[in-house]
Every structure is written in C-alpha cells, then in structure tokens.
Amino acid sequence: MALHIYNTLTREKELFTPITPGHVGMYVCGPTVYNDVHLGNCRTFISFDIIYRYLMYLGYKVRYVRNITDAGHLEGDRDEGDDKFSKMAKLQQVEPMEIVQKYTLGFRRVMQLLNNLPPSIEPTATGHISEQIEMTKQLLANGYAYEVNGTIYFDVEKYSKEENYGILTNRKLEDLLEGTRELGGQDEKHGRLDFALWIKAKPEHLMQWPSPWGMGFPGWHIECSAMSNKYLGKQFDIHGGGMDLAATHHTNEIAQSKGCYHVSPANYWMHTNMLTVNGARMSKSLGNGFLPDELFTGNHPLLEKAYAPMTVRFFMLQTHYRSTLDFSNEALQGSEKGLRRLWEAFETLNKFAPVNEQASEAELDAKVKKLVEGFDESMNDDFNTAKVLANMFELVPIINSIKDGLIAANALASSTVTLLQNKFKAYLEDIFGLTNSATGNNEVLGDVVQLLIDIRKEAKSKKDFATSDKIRNQLAAMGIALKDEKDGNASWSL
RNA sequence: GGUCCUUUGGCCGAGUGGUUAGGCAGAGCUCUGCAAAAGCUCGUACAGCGGUUCGAAUCCGCUAGGGACCUCCA
C-alpha cells in the first residue's frame, strides 16, 4: 500500500499524491515565542519531524517550512490590547525582541535535545511584514476585508456567501455564530466572526510598523498565509499543526488564502492530537504544562524522576499522532525500559555477520521478512508508528535468541539478516530519530570498563567471586551495569 | 447550548467484521557461582443495553462516563 494520509478536510484517509511528483511542500504552524515551549508543543513538532523524515525516506525532496511567531499575537479574543511579546517585555523590563530571542533560542535548544531536524525554512512574522501588508491589500481589493479606524478586518459574512467558511471542521456558519458573543457597542467589527488582518497600534505600543493604514502590526492568522504562499506557493501539499488550531487559525488561513488567490492553500490538512495530564489538555492557559527541562531534570512535583529526551520521544512514538496521549510516571517508565530493550537488541543485531545464503529455518525466515515488511506498510497507513514498534518488539526475542545461540546462527538467510539490519537502522535512527542516550560513547571510558571486565573475568575463572563481585558492585554504584553473557564475556551500559 | 471525538486486560496503548497486537508491571520455569539481562509459558480485555449478521471489541441505535473545539494555546 502506498502512503495514505488522514485529511482533516475530508475526514478520510486519502492516497497521498504530491502536486509535483517527487517533491513535497509542507507547512507546520510553529511556536509563539513569548514564553517557554511546553511538552504539548513538543509533541506536535516531534510528530511532524517523523512525518518529515519518513517522506524523505520515501525519496521525496521535502521543503519543510515552520514559522516562528514573534509578533501580532494578542492577549484576548477582542482584537485589541497589547500583544503577548509587548506584555512579557514590560513584565521583564526588556525589549520585545529580547523576549523573542530568548525563547527562540530556548525552543531551538529543546528541539535539538529531542533530536528534531531543523525545518528547511524557519521564517518569522516580523521578517515578513511587507508580505502580510501586501496580502491584506489584496484582500481589501478583492472585497473580503474592510477598514475601521486603521484596523483591517476580514469579512467572514461576505466570504461565506461564496465559500464554505467552516469547511475544515465541518461546521455551519449558524452554529459558529451561536457560539460567539454579541457585538458590543464599542466593537469595530461588522460581524461577530470577523477577525483582524492588521491592527492599528497605539502610540505607546512597543512593536509597530508603517502601513497604508498607519502604524500598526499584523493579526495572527495572516502570517501563516503570507509565508506559506511565499515559500511554498499558492497551493502546496501538506499543512499541519495541533488540533487546537483547526477551528480558528487554520479556518481563517483557508479563508484568507481563498479570498486572496481563489484557491485552497493545502491539499492535505494534518492535525496532531493533544497531550493530556490526568486527562486534561496540557495548555499554556491552564498552567498544567510541563517544561521540557523539568522533565529532563525531574524537577517537577508530579515527576518521580528525570526522563531522558529520547525516552520522551519514544513515549510519543508509541501512540498514534491523532490520539490523545496521557502523561504519567508509570507510562514514561514503561517507555524507558521498552526503549532500552529495543536499543540493546538493535546493538546486538548490528554485530551479526551474515552466515550463509540459505535460511536453515525457512519458516522463521519468512516470519522475520513479513514483520520487517510491515514497517513500511504501517507507516504508509497514516504514519502508524505504534504498529511499527510492535513489529520491532516481536523481532527482539528472535534477535536475542540468535545471540544466545537458542536459535541457530544460520537460521536466517544472509539477505534477511542484512534486511533486518538495514531496516532497524533506517527506522530507529533515520525515521524515528532516536539516538543512543542510554550508553556512553566515550572511547576512553569504554576501554577502562573493558579492562575491568577482563580483570573480573580472570577473577571469575579462579573462582575469586569476592573480587568479581567487588568490580561489578562498585561499577554499579557509579551507574555502570555489567551483564554477563553466555560466552563468558560481559556487556555494559550506563 | 451547538459541533465533534472517545471509552480496550493492573498501567500505557494498536486494531481488521471471523486469527495471540505490542510495551510496562505481575506469576512460574530455564540459563547463571550469585546478580542482572535474556529465553519460554501465563491473564483470554474490549463501558452498559438493544439491533444488523452465520459470526462484532470492530457496523447501527440508545444510555452512561471522559474529552476537544466554539475564546489566546501545538
């Protein structure tokens, strides 16, 4: 089966067909950098990192654009007041751009710790003010926007006469209106669903730019429309983001792009589900978010211990991206152990040398091949990483049994062993982006431990268990675990 | 109130109308000087009530619980 993607627009899994054969354009809504990213944000970016990596694995040339929102995000829903950067800047008594710099760097550091590849382009809202003004002008010219006292609003009612505004989340205009409050006397907007494209700035406002309508700053939604258009074109393949963005942000993006260019911007809309804590959504406004650093250090009242970035990444891979994922110590510890088991099997597998052309156990050979072929099949079914991991875990006992001699070394054909090695490497490292954080890669340390292992082996051969136990116990106290192997040697891990 | 999603064994979590998902935890056994690891075996789960069907955890309806969005949030 070729790659199928669940499309929010149609609420169905669809065969993925890129606009330009061999190329994929993908836009993902990035963070608003006015404070630290929390783990829920990270989940979305990890999910799309896997998708990005898998598309490349399939041979596509991918242009992956993920924006940094560094302007224009307002505090409330009324399209008035200060933006979040200005507010935080005042609070911390620094320039808004210092806020942006600080949290952008923090965001990139976390992404790197989680081993997310950087996107092809990471454009900022403040770097594309003129593009946003141009788009706003075009929307005014096309009759989908109006100006009130230097602020430009998108006219949802006008747009709805020609287009289906609620198409993305399958909502009727009347239902959407029902959920909104009545317009007050001081409201500038004509319609309750209208949203700002450009906002007039008060003189004391910290971040503002000149425009045909006076000094101001862009509304939140316009940046993604302007930047996706600039780097990916009027129409591109995939647009992604968290599910919470679908109803408002993405709905408005579609309206802006259609109002401006008369075409729907993206063919496939992908939405990742929320990370929850005790069943409730992790969010900035609820204040129940975990910061990545709190997780990596264990410095949080709800955490029993620290968890490595790779444990977190693996934890997220065990769930499908469209399911909610609940955060708990028990679940994380399960992932930690599972990852270790899988990784050790991977390292064992890499040491296998091909033995013979023919498999001495044809049935087992066929079973292994089938499980391996299941990797691609599962990923092609809307990126089912959980299923891939299940197959991998089924292969682990086979790998370990070959190592221990419980299964003959020539049981598998050499081509099967090579396939297994290649696919494990491709999936664990290239696609899932996991790295070995469990064992040290310091060569000197490795040599020292090997020396101790040799001394211990000698002691054991003389039945000097006092010495052998001392070495093992002391190393254990330092965090190095020795495991005796069948052949008399020992392996170790941190 | 409106729109929609979800409900799987101790925990986490896949899932196709008819076959053991998988991981973690737990129990037993094997291997081992001991330990750890590893291997083997084990729980026969699918919210409740109806219906469709030869057959449903998987389709439909109702009931109950949970959640999301409709307001800034990935």
Question: What is the span of the domain harbouring residue A39?
Answer: 12-272
Q: How far is the CA of A32 from the C1' of B45 (A)?
A: 42
Residue A481's pLDDT is what? 82
Report if residue A1 sits inside a domain. Answer: no
One-letter amino acid of A142: N
| pLDDT tens for each residue of A441-471 | 566 777 788 888 888 888 888 888 888 888 8
Best CA proximity match to A232, nearest among A65, A51, A18:
A65
Report if residue A334 sits inside a domain. Answer: yes
Which residues of A spanning 42-101 put their CB closer than 7 angstroms to strand B?
43-44, 73-77, 84
Distance, in Å, from the CA atom of A290 to the CA atom of A292, rounded to the nearest integer, reads: 6
Q: Which nucleotide is nearest to A394 (CA to C1')?
A: B22
Please check whether residues A215 and A328 belong to one and the same domain.
no
Q: How far is the CA of A120 from the C1' of B17 (A)?
A: 44
Please check whether residues A384 and A353 belong to one and the same domain.
yes
Please check whether residues A368 and A474 belong to one and the same domain.
no
Please check whether residues A239 and A314 belong to one and the same domain.
no
Structure token pair of residue A361: 């156990």
On whether the CB atoms of residues A327 and A292 are closer than 8 A, the answer is: no
Residue A43's pLDDT is what? 93
C-beta atoms surrounding A174 within 10 Å = 8
**How far are the Cα atoms of A58, A366, A390 from residue A323, in angstroms, in the given order?**
24, 32, 17
Q: Which nucleotide is nearest to A387 (CA to C1')?
A: B14
User: Running DSSP on this structure, what letter comes out for residue A219?
Assistant: -
Residue that wins the pLDDT comparison between A48 and A482: A48
Residue after which a domain boundary falls, among A253, A272, A291: A272
| pLDDT tens for each residue of A144-161 | 999 999 999 999 989 998
Please check whether residues A376 and A243 belong to one and the same domain.
no
| 3-state helix/strand/coil string of A43-73 | HHHHHHHHHHHHHHHCCCEEEEEECEECCCC
Mean pLDDT of A175-189: 68
Q: How far is the CA of A483 from the C1' of B23 (A)?
A: 22
On whether the CB atoms of residues A115 and A313 are closer than 8 A, the answer is: yes
Q: How far is the CA of A320 from the C1' of B9 (A)?
A: 21
H runs (alpha helix) in A351-442: 362-380, 385-403, 414-425
Is A242 (CB) below 7 Å from strand B? Answer: yes
**A75 pLDDT tier (thresholds 50, 70, 90):** low
Distance, in Å, from the CA atom of A111 to the CA atom of A105, rounded to the nearest integer, reads: 10
Residue that wins the pLDDT comparison between A378 and A483: A378
Is A438 (CB) below 7 Å from strand B? Answer: no
Q: Give this complex's ipTM.
A: 0.92
> Which of A91-95, A220-224, A401-405 is least confident?
A91-95
Please check whether residues A252 and A301 belong to one and the same domain.
no
**A186 pLDDT tier (thresholds 50, 70, 90):** low
Residue nearest to nucleotide B5 (CA to C1'): A323
Residue A10's pLDDT is what? 85
User: Running DSSP on this structure, what letter comes out for residue A40?
Assistant: H
Residue A297 has pLDDT above 50, yes or no: yes
Mean pLDDT of A125-151: 95
Taking CB atoms within 8 Å and a gap of at least 24, the contacts of A371-376 are A371/A395, A372/A419, A372/A420, A372/A423, A375/A423, A375/A427
DSSP three-state, residue A146: strand
Which residues of A spanning 262-301 put their CB closer than 7 angstroms to strand B?
272-276, 279-286
Residue A441's pLDDT is what? 55
Q: How far is the CA of A43 from the C1' of B66 (A)?
A: 22
Residue A439's pLDDT is what? 47
**Contact positions of strand B to protein Cβ (< 7 A):** 1-5, 10-15, 21-25, 31-40, 66-74
Which residues of A spanning 115-174 put their CB closer than 7 angstroms to strand B?
169-171
Q: How far is the CA of A40 from the C1' of B44 (A)?
A: 36
Q: How far is the CA of A48 from the C1' of B70 (A)?
A: 26
Please check whether residues A28 and A116 belong to one and the same domain.
yes
Position of tokens 């090579």?
A418
Residues A182, A186, A192, A196: is their CA dihedral positive or negative? negative
Q: How far is the CA of A276 from the C1' of B47 (A)?
A: 21
Distance, in Å, from the CA atom of A406 to the CA atom of A427, rounded to the nearest integer, reads: 26
Q: How far is the CA of A382 from the C1' of B22 (A)?
A: 18
Distance, in Å, from the CA atom of A148 to the CA atom of A82, rounded to the nearest integer, reads: 18
Residue A442's pLDDT is what? 65
H runs (alpha helix) in A186-284: 220-232, 251-261
Structure token pair of residue A87: 């507010």
Report if residue A7 sits inside a domain. Answer: no
Residue that wins the pLDDT comparison between A313 and A451: A313
> Which of A208-212, A218-222, A327-331 is least confident?
A327-331
Please check whether residues A485 and A409 belong to one and the same domain.
no
Number of domains in chain A: 3
Residue A28 has pLDDT above 90, yes or no: yes
Residue after which a domain boundary falls, among A382, A401, A431: A431
**How far are the Cα atoms of A49, A64, A129, A256 from residue A240, in angstroms, in the given order?**
11, 11, 22, 17
Which residues of A spanning 168-207 put their CB closer than 7 angstroms to strand B?
169-171, 175-176, 178-180
On whether the CB atoms of residues A195 and A79 are closer than 8 A, the answer is: yes
Residue A176's pLDDT is what? 79
Please check whether residues A250 and A290 belong to one and the same domain.
no
Please check whether residues A262 and A134 belong to one and the same domain.
yes
Please check whether residues A337 and A262 belong to one and the same domain.
no
Give the list of residues 6+ apart from residue A112 with CB closer than 8 angstroms, or none: none
| pLDDT tens for each residue of A107-125 | 999 999 999 999 999 999 9
User: Running DSSP on this structure, what letter comes out for residue A299?
Assistant: -
- Average model confidence (pLDDT) across chain A: 88
Please check whether residues A381 and A265 belong to one and the same domain.
no
Residue A276 has pLDDT above 90, yes or no: no
DSSP three-state, residue A326: strand
Residue A335 has pLDDT above 90, yes or no: yes
Stated as kind and residue range, the H or E segment containing A477 is helix A465-477
Torsion of CA A138, A141, A144, A150, to 10 degrees: 80
CATH for A172:
3.40.50.620
Residue that wins the pLDDT comparison between A440 and A390: A390
